[in-house]
Each structure stands twice: as C-alpha cells, then as structure tokens.
Amino acid sequence: MSGLQLQDLTKRFGSVNAVASVNLSVPQGTFVCLLGPSGCGKTTLLRMIAGLEEPTEGAIVLDNKDMTGVPTHQRDFGMVFQSLALFPHLNVGENIAYPLRIRGVDKAEQKRRVEELLELVRLPGLADRPVAKLSGGQRQRVAIARALALRPKLFLLDEPLSALDAKLREAMQVELRQLQQSLGITTIVVTHDQREAMTMADLVVVMGEGRIRQAASPIQVYRKPSDAFVADFIGMTNLLPLKGNGDLLGRSFPSLGMAVGPRGGHLSVRPEDIRLVSPDQGTLTGTVTFVRDLGGTIETFVDVEGTSIVAVTTPRERTPYVAGDNVGIHLPVESCVVLKG
C-alpha cells in the first residue's frame, strides 16, 4: 500500500511515555493534522517520522519500505519548523536553492527550480530579496518553498503558522491546503489549534497523553467524537453529566441510561444544535445567566440544576434573551452524542 504507516510507534524518555503505541495508516496524498494539548506527544511523533528522534519501539513504513533505521537525510521528506530556520545571510533564492546546492544540482537547474518554487508559493521575482526584508507571511512561504525544493514524498510541518497573527494565519492555512492539493503530497502538520486542523486536514489525529484518541475526518471528529476528551477539545460543546439510570440534570431519560451503561458518562451537545424554547416545551428548563452578543452570533448561557449550558444562535433567529429569563432547552436527539466516561 502506498503512503505512510506507523506501526506500534512508541517513544519513552526515561519514565515519560511521550508517544505510546501509535498505529496510523496515511494514504498517499493525505493531509494529516496532529492535534492535541501541550505535551501530548505531537512533536515527538513528527520527529520520529522525520528521523530526528529514534523510536523506542515500532516501525515507520513509507511506500512499503521500512524507514525506521534510515538516516534523516535519506528519508525523502521536507520539513518546516515553527522557527522556520531560514539562513539570514542568504537571500530568498539562495535559501530555497540550499538543499539543491548540497545535493550538487547544477547552477542552471537550481535557478530554474527556484523560479518554479517561487511561482508555487506566490512570490514570483523575489529571488534576490534579502530574507530580513520579508514579511512574516513571505518568510513562511520561503521556508515552504525550501522544504519542497527536492520534491519530497513527505511534507512535515511543526506548528508552522503559530508565529503569525490571527488574520495572516487563517489566510496561510487556506494557502497551505491549496498548495498541498495542487501537489498531491502527503503532508503532516502539528498544531494545537483545532480550527487550523479543521481548515486544512483530510485526517485529524487527536492525541492525548501520547495516544491517538481519535483519527477521522474533521466533520466526523466534530460530529461523532469518540470520547469526552475529543468532544471537549474540538470546538465548543456542552458535556452534560448523564447517570447510568438515565438521569440527565434532574430529568429521567431511561433510553439514554441504557446507551451510556451503568457507570454513566456524558451527553455531548454542540451549542449550535440547541434550540431555546418556552419553558414548557424544553427537554430541560433553566434560567438564563448571561448573554454574549457577538454581533454575528449570540451565546446564551443557561443554568440547569447547577450546570451551565451554552446555546449559540444568530440574530436572525430571534431577539436575545436577558439574564433571569426562564427558558426551555430543546436537545435534538439526532445531534446528541452519548459518551461513556
């Protein structure tokens, strides 16, 4: 099978299990985002794939070839780090040509390839510009062009956009995705930003404590999170405590109790799926505690038996409630996810 396979990949630093038995199959041409909170092992996993960190156990297979013991420079990947690591004393063209020069590619071919890469990252004609005179977004593109200079099979990026301001970062996410799609190159990006992952990825890999908690398409991870950790990490959600006997915030729902099992768990409901209705029509009832009107959306916080539930609506749907209002909360069955634990 072409593509990348991670087989039981494990990295221990002393007693710390940084990456614990990771299994993942990445078809050729897939855009993967490794997503998770700080310290969950994303960078260590990426560094093992790059050959910068030796696995304690397990194997890395690329296009049916075991790469595990292969030295970094023979792995055929391009990498972009958060720091970018551009050479400040070289101009744009020299930075991009650097890997070609090291491989002994002749001067004319270097020049041709640099021009092609500058076109690709939308910086045509900037080869002679000193790196110091570039904007943050332009530097980013130079680092990407340099990483792609040798036409690698695998493109690896560690928090590549985190130094950019929010607007530029969003624009670069779209650019990076479009670039990846036009090249069809298998790409793995480390990020702790779930919006970034949802924007770019075909496959979102949510990690927690060194393990994969869920690996699925962005919409699946959002709509069908595998556990409360994933539901909470991906976007905003309401995690409502659900007891094994079907008790949900003082109301009884025996069928939910059956679904969650005797030990109980949570019901995950996205704020945009909740409808606020009159108190007698709700699945639950509560009291509005706070309304955040953000212009485009309105967040209404409702206290139900001591648990705060947030509903998101648009101004077109209705006029805002005010704190102290009594409201009903309608939980649509089809968009509620029962989570054990």
Ligand X SMILES: Nc1ncnc2c1ncn2[C@@H]1O[C@H](COP(=O)(O)OP(=O)(O)OP(=O)(O)O)[C@@H](O)[C@H]1O
Which residues contribute to the site for ligand X (CB under 6 A)?
13, 16, 18, 36, 38-44, 192
DSSP letter string over 17-59? Answer: EEEEEEEEEEETT-EEEEE-STTSSHHHHHHHHHTSS--SEEE
C-alpha distance from residue 115 to each of 110, 125, 142 (Å): 9, 8, 12
Nearer to ligand X, 193 or 299 (CB): 193
Nearer to ligand X, 51 or 99 (CB): 51
Least distance (Å) between residue 215 CB and ligand X: 16
Task: Answer yes or no: are the C-beta atoms of 114 and 96 closer than 8 Å.
Answer: yes
Least distance (Å) between residue 41 CB and ligand X: 4
Least distance (Å) between residue 36 CB and ligand X: 6
Task: Answer yes or no: are the C-beta atoms of 152 and 78 closer than 8 Å.
Answer: yes
Least distance (Å) between residue 233 CB and ligand X: 12
Least distance (Å) between residue 42 CB and ligand X: 4
Q: What's the distance, Cα to Cα, between the start and end of the chain in Å?
A: 36
Nearer to ligand X, 56 or 297 (CB): 56
Nearer to ligand X, 111 or 192 (CB): 192
Nearer to ligand X, 41 or 78 (CB): 41
Nearer to ligand X, 44 or 140 (CB): 44
**In Å, how far from its chain's centre is CA 145?**
22
Phi, psi torsion values for 27, nearest 5 degrees: -60, 150
Least distance (Å) between residue 14 CB and ligand X: 7
Given CA atoms 91, 93, 99, 104 in this order, what sign does their dihedral have?
negative
C-alpha distance from residue 221 to each of 31, 62, 213 (Å): 15, 26, 10
**In Å, how far from its chain's centre is CA 323?**
35
